[in-house]
Amino acid sequence: MTLHQFHLVGFGAACVIHGTQAVLVWKLWRRTMGANQDEVREGIALCALTFFFQFGNLWRELGITYHYPDESAVIMLGYFIEDVALLSFPLLFSYMCRSIRTDSQFVLVLTRIGSLLRFPLWVLVPVGVAFVAVHCLGRRPVVDIDMIVSITLNIMLYYFIVFFVAALTYRNRVRAHNRPMARANKASLVASLLAVGTFIVMLWSPFRTEYFGWIQWASMMTTVPFSIAVAYRLYQFPFMDAFLRDVLTGTTLLVGFCVAYTIGFSSPDMQALWMVIVGLGLAFMKAPVSRWVDKTFLGYTESVEEQEERIGNLVRQLSGLDEFEARVAEIVSREIGADWVSIRRESRPDAVEQFQIPGTTRTWLALGPRKGARSYMSRQLQLARRIALELSVQRERLEREETNRRQLVHEHELRETTARAQMRALQAQINPHFLFNTLNVLANLIHRDPAKAEHVTEDLAEIFRYALESTRVEWVRLEDELNFLKSYLEIERTRFEDRLNYEFDVGSDVRTMRIPPMILQPLVENAVRHGISPLIDGGRVRIVARAEQDGLKICVEDTGAGLNQKGRGGTGIGLSNVRERLAHIYGGGVVFQLEENSPQGTRVVLVLPQHREVHA
């Protein structure tokens, strides 16, 4: 690869780098959070000057490529643009010295000298530009152009030394406190050192050998590291992180291409094959080199795609709509370094950046100032836009889930309310039998046996107390139900006298088990009413309860008229209500059997599954 080819590649790449940076800074120069207005203007001027300097070089080299004569207008135009930009650098550097902040007296003296040089430079630069114009028009100027360029280069060397010493003294001050400024200072230190080194070699006569052309080219290309240093200094501008990543990645790959191109092969076919291999290798290297630049120069430990995926996973893990906005604000604030983040129905005038969440009625993701008084970079803005899209999807999902959940709860509550109303209605159909039968007994006893009437009244009060409480609970202990049945049977014994006897065969191990309230009373009432009552000699009612593997087994037996008696077939209102209540409570898991009792009577068998103990 010849020196001319290196000139074309280097000057072309530098034009793209400086032109892109100049446009970015010019478009965003009003956004000066974290950098003062003078620094921004200096950055714009430096980017513009470096672009015109490299454009003049590229224009001249393109003219040489197309074989224009050295004295032609095309070649002279390239020289004119290059020399004018070169003569303007010292004047710009004199103003940049005013922006240097230092505690070192030595550096302060150097910067003051450099700043004061702007006064003579305002005279020398226009004069030098006039002489260059005269020379490019084909006339001989009073002063030799080479001498003017040499003086300019020596003045520039002085400024590079000032910048290097200032960056060197500022290094320890920012290293431990401000990582972005520390990187910017390191970039300035490297750029100044490269410029000082190449200019000394170029200006010192012992180095004027056959390699002098390469030395000149290297010194011209020092504008690239200076451009990168300016990008670091203006790092708080949006898109500067993307600019740094792309420039450093592209420069690294370009250097690798140039080095690979210098490897020559005698065979043209081998050379072509080698360049294809190099091109494919550089294409595969772009992603890892870009990640290395992000980590080394920008301080990002993960790619933007990885961070987007991780934030998306955090948002998708949120399950409660009530805490959604607060948790999202916490996640976003932590990930992009915002002082505060809010999700509101209206925009916030104090927000630095706002993004409307798609699919919502003017809901905004608002970002407060970034921590450290920095501006948001393109990476943070990209993350915020991605989060806004993710919020739209996840908010809709949570709202849909919340709507479904509320609907299910409403339907469940409605079914529960309906079931309870049905239970109350079924119990209300049973309760009037107690009152009618007992009132008849009391009417007969009040005058004939007042003491017995008093006992019946007490039993009646106990029965109605239990019946009232049973409408407020879903479950009772078996022992409470048996006490209720005992009061009921005592009243019935008063009515039937010796014709009715009853017995409880219940073990102590099952007395605390749970059953629905008043589920046995219709069975006992049915045994008395349809079994014992029709017989002249009466009979016995026996209640047996045992714990079995399948549940609690309860038998209500009588020695009455049996199933052939009218009303004992299981279609009466009492037994029908019991079946309906059991179906509501247990579903299909309950056993309800009506059968003949040997040697006489009827037996009702209940097996209630999933019984549990109730603590008193």
Mean pLDDT of 286-298: 79
Examine the domain organization and report whether 152 and 222 are in the same domain: yes
Q: Which of 367, 397, 427 is the last residue of a domain?
A: 397
Of 107, 222, 116, the residue nearest 170 (C-alpha): 107
Name, in order, each residue with C-beta under 8 angstroms of 49's C-beta and a sequence gap of 6 or more. 85, 88, 89, 92
How long is the chain? 616
Given a contact cutoff of 8 angstroms between Cβ atoms, the answer to whether 548 and 572 are in contact is no
Judge contact between 109 and 103, C-beta under 8 A. no
411 domain-assigned = no
Strand locations in 465-525, DSSP E? 476-477, 500-506, 514-515
On whether residue 416 sits in a domain, the answer given is: no
pLDDT at 542: 93
Task: Report the candidate in 62, 113, 59 with the shortest Cα–Cα distance to residue 90.
Answer: 113
- Angstrom distance (rounded) from CA 495 to CA 459: 13
- Strand partners for 546: 553
pLDDT tier at 35, thresholds 50, 70, 90: very low
Determine what percent of the chain is predicted with pLDDT higher than 70: 83
Give the least confident one: 171-175, 522-526, 606-610: 171-175
Assess whether 338 and 349 both reside in one domain. Answer: yes
Copy the structure tokens of residue 83: 């020399």
Residues 278 and 372 in one domain: no
**CA 572/CA 556 separation, integer angstroms:** 16
Name the phi and psi angles at 100, rounded to 5.
-75, 130
Q: Give domain status of residue 444, yes or no.
A: no
Q: Give me the domain span that covers residue 316.
A: 310-397
Residue 112, both tokens: 């003051």
Q: Given this model, what pLDDT does residue 507 score?
A: 87
Query: By the 8 A CB rule, do 544 and 509 touch?
Result: no
pLDDT of 614 > 50? The answer is no
Q: Which residues pair with 365 in a beta bridge?
A: 343, 355
Query: What single-letter DSSP state applies at residue 565?
Result: S
Q: How confident is the model at residue 417 (pLDDT cuts 50, 70, 90)?
A: low
Based on its alpha-carbon atoms, the radius of gyration of the chain, rounded to whole angstroms, reads: 49
DSSP codes joined into one string, 156-223:
HHHHHHHHHHHHHHHHHHHHTT-HHHHHHHHHHHHHHHHHHHHHHHHHSGGG-STTHHHHHHHHHTTH
Neighbours of 9 (CB within 10 A): 16
Does 53 lie in the same domain as 201?
yes
Rounded CA-CA distance 126/135 in Å is 14
DSSP state of 268: H
Interatomic CA distance for residues 127 and 270, integer angstroms: 54
- Report which residue type is found at 316: R
SS (H, E, C) 457-479: HHHHHHHHHHHHHHCCCCCEEHH
Answer whether residue 171 shows pLDDT above 70.
Answer: no
> Mean of the pLDDT values across residues 424-449?
66
Query: Of 361 and 168, which is predicted with more confidence?
Result: 168
Q: Rounded to an integer, what distance in angstroms lies between the CA atom of residue 537 and that of residue 568?
A: 19
Burial class (CB in 10 A: 0-12, 13-18, 19+), 571: exposed
Tokens (6 digits) for 494: 């008063």
Inter-residue contact 51 to 22 (CB < 8 Å): yes
CA-based torsion, 93, 94, 100, 106: positive or negative: positive
Can you give the CATH number for the domain in which 533 is found? 3.30.565.10
Helix/strand/coil for 557: strand
Residues 115 and 86 in one domain: yes
With left for phi above 0 and alpha for psi between -120 and 50, is residue 77 left, alpha or beta? alpha
For the cut 90, the answer to whether the pLDDT of residue 497 exceeds it is no
CA angle, 155 as apex, 149 and 161 as ends, to 5°? Answer: 135
Q: Which of 50-64, 410-424, 470-484 has the lowest mean pLDDT?
A: 410-424
175 shares a domain with 114: yes
DSSP state of 517: T
Q: Is 606 helix (H, G, I), strand (E, B) or coil?
A: strand
Cα 347 from Cα 354, distance rounded (Å) = 7
Distances in whole angstroms, Cα of residue 52 to Cα of each of 77, 213, 216: 12, 21, 17
Provide the pLDDT for residue 220. 84
pLDDT at residue 616, as a whole number:
39
Domain boundary among 210, 237, 264: 237
pLDDT digits (tens, 9 = 90+) for 556-595: 999 988 877 654 554 466 677 788 878 877 877 788 888 8
559 found inside a domain = yes
| Final residue in a domain of this structure, among 274, 301, 328 | 301
Give CA–CA dist 609/406, Å, rounded. Answer: 31
CATH code (residue 67): 1.20.1070.10
pLDDT for residue 503 is more than 90: yes
In the predicted structure, residue 296 carries a pLDDT above the cut 60: yes
Residue 600 — left, alpha, or beta (φ > 0 → left; ψ -120 to 50 → alpha)?
A: beta
The answer to whether residue 414 sits within a structural domain is: no
Is the pLDDT assigned to residue 230 strictly greater than 90? no
- The 10s digit of each residue's pLDDT in 100-140 is 877 788 888 998 999 999 999 999 999 999 998 988 888 87
**Predicted local confidence at residue 541, as pLDDT:** 93
Dihedral sign (CA 473, 477, 483, 485): positive
Q: What is the DSSP letter of 362?
A: S
- Does residue 544 surpass a pLDDT of 90? yes
The yes-or-no verdict on residue 75 having pLDDT over 80 is yes
Q: In whole angstroms, give the CA distance from residue 214 to residue 7.
A: 9
In degrees, to the nearest 5, what angle opens at C-alpha 286 toward C-alphas 282 and 288? 120
Among 90-99, 211-220, 243-252, which is the least confidently predicted range?
A: 243-252
Measure the CA–CA gap between 126 and 84, rounded to whole angstroms: 9
Query: Is 277 a domain residue?
Result: yes
Q: If you average pLDDT over every residue of the chain, what do you get?
A: 79
Same domain for 204 and 283? no
Q: Are residues 226 and 269 in the same domain?
A: no
> CA-based angle 196:202:203, to the nearest 5?
90
C-beta atoms surrounding 319 within 10 Å: 11
Tens digit of each residue's pLDDT (9 = 90 or more) over 352-398:
787 777 765 567 888 888 776 666 777 777 888 888 887 777 777 77
Q: What is the pLDDT of residue 612?
A: 47
**Domain assignment of residue 168, yes or no:** yes
For residue 201, is it within any domain? yes
Count of domains in the chain?
A: 4
Shared domain for 124 and 152, answered yes or no, is yes
Element containing residue 354 per DSSP (H, E):
strand 353-356
Q: What is the pLDDT of residue 363?
A: 78
Which of 181-190, 257-266, 523-532 has the largest mean confidence? 523-532
d(CA 21, CA 26): 8
**How confident is the model over 495-505, as a mean pLDDT?**
88
Assess whether 209 and 335 both reside in one domain: no
Contact 15, 55 (CB under 8 A): yes
Q: Do 286 and 257 lie in a common domain?
A: yes
The pLDDT value given to residue 312: 80
Contact 555, 544 (CB under 8 A): yes
Residues 359 and 496 in one domain: no
